[in-house]
């Protein structure tokens, strides 16, 4: 099946969202294959309506197009759910959105590690957005991350979060002299909502 691959060759703000929206009428599927919510796409429709998207592919604005958040994307569940609510409040049909079951979830401890690392580096800091994207990808590569499918099994989700915090709290307290994070503050119900259960599906997304 032929495909069009849209890649930003600079450092963002190249107009990828606009290009995707323009191509959307000619496509059956729009797949986002990597990245997180550290940036976004602003799309202005012919009627003047403006939409700012951070995780969901801009193909969602084209009726009938299937949209996939692939397994190479790191997903902040709270951002995704807020984005879905915002679109539905404006009568945008989101029923054609699929989330790869293998996509990794961005957890609060990723944000904590991201921010404290940047402060520690001082003048040598990377300049991240502080949203935990880099640390989440680190966990993905190390094979210790939480995936979307894990929210369907509370015992697996709890086990993975507790295991992650056991190590990350050592980093926070012994390297950065910060307080340890308490897993009990993050109820698994926050991550395993009915909407999340219906959104996560084992789609054949690109890596």
Q: What phi, psi does 147 have (nearest 5°)? A: -100, 160
The Cα–Cα gap between 179 and 30 comes to 42
Strand, coil or helix: 24: helix
- The structure tokens 């495909």 sit at 3
Q: How many residues does the chain have?
A: 207
The Cα–Cα gap between 196 and 199 comes to 5
Point out the catalytic residue in the list 13, 49, 85, 93.
13
Point out the catalytic residue in the list 21, 41, 104, 110.
41
- For residue 105, the 8-state DSSP code is E
Residue 13 is among the residues annotated as catalytic for this protein: yes
Positive or negative, the CA dihedral 13, 17, 23, 28 is: positive
Residue 41 is among the residues annotated as catalytic for this protein: yes
Tokens of 90: 């404006």
On the 0-12 / 13-18 / 19+ scale of CB atoms within 10 A, 86 is: middle
By annotation, the residues acting in catalysis are: 13, 41
């Amino acid at each position: 099946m032929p495909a069009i691959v849209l890649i930003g060759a600079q450092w963002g703000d190249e107009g990828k969202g606009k290009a995707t929206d323009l191509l959307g009428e000619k496509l059956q599927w729009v797949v986002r294959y990597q990245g997180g919510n550290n940036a976004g796409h602003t799309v202005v429709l012919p009627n003047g309506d403006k939409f700012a998207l951070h995780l969901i592919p801009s193909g969602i604005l084209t009726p009938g197009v299937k949209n996939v958040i692939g397994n190479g994307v790191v997903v902040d569940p709270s951002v995704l759910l807020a984005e879905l609510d915002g679109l539905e409040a404006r009568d945008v049909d989101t029923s054609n959105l699929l989330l790869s079951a293998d996509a990794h979830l961005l957890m609060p401890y990723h944000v904590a590690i991201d921010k404290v690392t940047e402060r520690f580096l001082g003048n040598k800091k990377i300049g991240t957005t502080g949203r935990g994207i880099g640390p989440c990808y680190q966990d993905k590569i190390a094979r210790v991350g939480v995936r979307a499918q894990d929210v369907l099994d509370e015992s697996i989700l709890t086990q993975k979060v507790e295991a992650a915090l056991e190590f990350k709290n050592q980093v926070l307290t012994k390297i950065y002299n910060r307080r340890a994070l308490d897993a009990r503050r993050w109820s698994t119900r926050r991550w395993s909502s009915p909407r999340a259960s219906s959104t996560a599906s084992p789609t054949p997304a690109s890596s």
